[in-house]
Amino acid sequence: MEKHHKFSIWYVLLGVWFVLILNNWLYSSLGPVHLAYSEFLAKLRQDKVSELAIGQQMISGEMVGDDGKTVKFTTVRVNPDLAKELEGHNIVFRGEVESTFLRTLLSWMIPIFLFFGVWYFMMKRMGPGAGVMSFGRSGAKLHAEQDIPTRFADVAGVDEAKFELEEIVNFLKNPERFTSLGGRMPKGVLLVGPPGTGKTLLSRAVAGEAGVPFFSISGSEFVELFVGVGAARVRELFAQAKEKAPCIIFIDELDALGKARGVAIAGGHDEREQTLQQLLVEMDGFDPRVGVIIMAATNRPEILDAALLRAGRFDRQVLVDKPDLKGRLDILNVHAKRIALGPNVDLKVLAQRTPGLSGADLENILNEGALLAARAGHNEVTMADLEEAVDRVIGGLEKKNRVINEREKRIVAYHETGHALVAALTPGADQVHKISIIPRGIAALGYTEQRPTEDRYLMSRSELLGKIDVFLGGRVAESLAFGEVSTGAANDLQRATDLARAMLTQYGMGQTLGPVTLARRNQPVFLPGDAALMPPAQEFSEATAAALDAELREMMDQRQSHVQQLLGDQRQLLDTVAARLLEREVIDHKEFRQLLGDLAPAESTAASA
């Protein structure tokens, strides 16, 4: 609900003070010269006065100054018989009525009204969400119930989360059904999950299904430079929500506001903590019978303040995770309704190619496919367009203009062939879907795409070692073909080392620590980023660290020897696949299986290829 700018007496006083200062300055610097009456008579008798305006109290006019220039002057009238004396000097003079009260009042009011007109115009141009007057406003966007078209049918891939939130909808529609039994709904519902999984979309679907107003605001919009502004915005938001009840308050990126207290950077102010405390107070004193549901979303639940998560505040947490195979297929079906798909499009194959992608990524793939089809002049989106869209989203744009010399191109071909052959010859490894030596993205000169046949949530030690073997396959293939290695395996080595270190320090799969873990505490759940690559905190002795380093080196040497033996036995096949890759630049899974011949994985394993 948009509010008008509030009137304040301080603005009136400020305007009056400004006009007084301006008037005094203008009068003193640009106004007429004030003469004593005796000086005026002396100038008059010297015939230097040229024109006069005579009032009841004041006399103003023009005279010739000492430099010969005409100067305006004023003086106080003293002699009542001045007219007789003026007649002898040939001076043009006239009478003047002194200013009345009304005239004086208008001379002051017109500048003041002009000042307020300019101020109001500037405030209107700045909008209701800007300016000094808006510091205490929450800035929440209010969406009326008729303006929310989103429904649960528009949300796919998160069936468990939808089931949990349907209860919220039922409460908003029929609260007596719950309160009659003495129960109450949770005051707050926290949606946690990786970015792009549909947390905001779910909250809008709840409001759309329930048919209630929807307040939407980001956690960062509460915190300002000045202490106390954020707390005022929280109070104002909850006051608006009570007026619109039943309704939903949705706070996006709650971690910007609800970060655990006591860990602030030294030298910072208390604005964020005061804002958080005000939110806790408002939620704690909120009557659930009012019909206001507070929903929030975050992808950093591990850093939230414990007081936010206790019973009575955000006491229900709903996981909105990345979709599985069925969920990805459902999401693709929802977004494909607006895309003109060709008859050869198989969304199931597309869902199998995109493990680990969020709903936003899948929507982007369909959109990119439609753009590629339009660019190529197609009347409908083909499977080839969607395959290219997947490559663009996962690997980046093709660098068709990047010129690579023949030697580097051969190195890249053997490198990618090494990855593919090790993956094909390792039991339990993900299937090879495509091999390419076309540069993509920022630094990738080629890539080998593997496609899992099913969603996996657990991995055994042998499967993890197989992943390390695939990482090392490119480097070993270079060594066999050229007798030396290149810098192209830097990322592979990093990923292999991180996985091996995790096996030893986190998964209890090593000999040095045994069933002991040295995992990092409070590491990000959904946004690992660089934190996942950092070594664990030093919570063990130097002797243990040295033993871990030795075991890590031994494990990597063993895997490299295993891969060297594996590819050495298939040297002819390595040369054959690399030569075909140099010729074609891209080898798909069907052609790769033909090149493997009898070494191809069993048909049952590749049924989804």
264 or 542, greater pLDDT: 542
94 or 439, greater pLDDT: 439
Is 589 marked as a binding-site residue? no
Residue 11 lies in a domain: no
The CATH number covering residue 432 comes to 1.20.58.760
User: Alpha helices of 127-220 — where are they, by DSSP H?
Assistant: 159-173, 176-179, 199-210
Is 187 marked as a binding-site residue? no
Is 89 marked as a binding-site residue? no
Instruction: Please give the distance of CA 442 from its chain centroid, rounded to a whole number.
Output: 23
- CA-to-CA distance for 124 and 127, rounded, in angstroms? 5
pLDDT score at 577: 92
Mean pLDDT over residues 429-456, rounded? 80
502 and 570 in a common domain: yes
Is 419 marked as a binding-site residue? yes
479 and 566 in a common domain: yes
Is 415 marked as a binding-site residue? yes
Mean pLDDT over residues 480-490, rounded? 90
The CATH number covering residue 267 comes to 3.40.50.300
387 and 254 in a common domain: no
Q: Is a pLDDT exceeding 80 seen at residue 215?
A: yes
pLDDT score at 442: 60
Strands, DSSP E only, in 196-332?
214-218, 247-252, 292-298, 316-319
184 and 235 in a common domain: yes
Active site residues: 416
* pLDDT, tens only, 224-243: 655 567 788 888 888 888 88
The CATH number covering residue 386 comes to 1.10.8.60
Q: Is a pLDDT exceeding 50 seen at residue 268?
A: no
Q: Specify the number of domains making up the chain.
A: 4
Domain with 354, as residue range(s), is: 325-395
Consecutive H or E run containing 116: helix 101-126
Q: At what angle do helices 406-425 and 589-596 cross, to 10 degrees?
A: 80
Last residue of a domain, one of 265, 298, 319: 319
Is 255 marked as a binding-site residue? no
Is 483 marked as a binding-site residue? no
pLDDT score at 404: 76
557 and 519 in a common domain: yes
Residue 129 lies in a domain: no
373 and 303 in a common domain: no
Is 194 marked as a binding-site residue? yes
Residue 111 lies in a domain: no
Last residue of a domain, one of 98, 114, 133: 98
Task: Quote the tokens at residue 430.
Answer: 């993900």
507 and 480 in a common domain: yes
